[in-house]
Amino acid sequence: MLEIPLYQVDAFTDQVFKGNPAAVCPLDEWLPDDLLYKIAAENNLSETAFFVPTQQGYHLRWFTPTTEVDLCGHATLATAHVIATQLDRSATEILFESKSGVLKVTCDGGCYTLDFPARPPSVFDAISIVEDAIGVCPQATYKSSKLMAVLDDEASVLGVEPDFDKVAALPGDGLIITSTSRDFDYVARYFGPHCGIPEDPVTGSAHVVCAPYWKDRLGKPKMIAKQISKRGGVLEIEDCGDRILLTGSAALYLKGTIYL
């Protein structure tokens, strides 16, 4: 019988039941892809992270319940938390090889800073189809890896009740909706029904798209953003040009074993 360690971590929060939960599975070597897909589907969280040791650090992959993705913030943070608190308590810097290149995570007293590639969006004419999908007319729409819609205010973002079938049919890797905020520099929500995630609680890969937009609009390279999903989560963000630094905390919820 194969036994695989399983951790569940709430990321971009310092409290359980908030932020975004991710499953984390350390492996000695890679299992067949079909088995990774089955484990991720069984876990049924927005992301399951699998990693194996390498000479420089770790090779990291992320799976939704239905597909493998090329970048995931909260599951990377969750993985770093597992390594730093359970596997290598001396770790202060962790290097991950991934589909998006080498990702560095700095560990500092329970806070983790992810060094991710920026994915600045460009103007993209999708206002009418986004309005049809979310029931609100955006100020403007943009596209990078993900589609992004800028709304009038935080109340508009919070009040959106999307038609997930129509959101799933939109171009790009899901839909970000975002606006300015009284208490934060900006707020956002992210919908990914096309890959089995109706609404993601906190999404690092969404903020590498919208942070460059808000940096230019607000004139601030350092920002505090909140993802205003039901669980919610806060990110400290620094736009360094071609890289985005995302800082947050994490809380371990579960330790267990998968038996196969």
Question: What positions carry a catalytic annotation?
Answer: 47
Calpha distance 190→206 (Å, rounded):
7
- Judging by beta carbons within 10 Å of its beta carbon (0-12, 13-18, 19+), is residue 73 exposed, middle or buried? buried
Calpha distance 153→173 (Å, rounded):
23
**Strands 48-53 and 20-26, how do they pair?**
parallel
Distances (CA, A) of 186 to 158, 174, 176, 196, 210: 12, 19, 12, 26, 9
Q: Residues near 239 by Cβ (< 8 Å), separated by ≥ 6?
A: 118, 211, 212, 215, 221, 222, 223
Calpha distance 169→83 (Å, rounded):
37
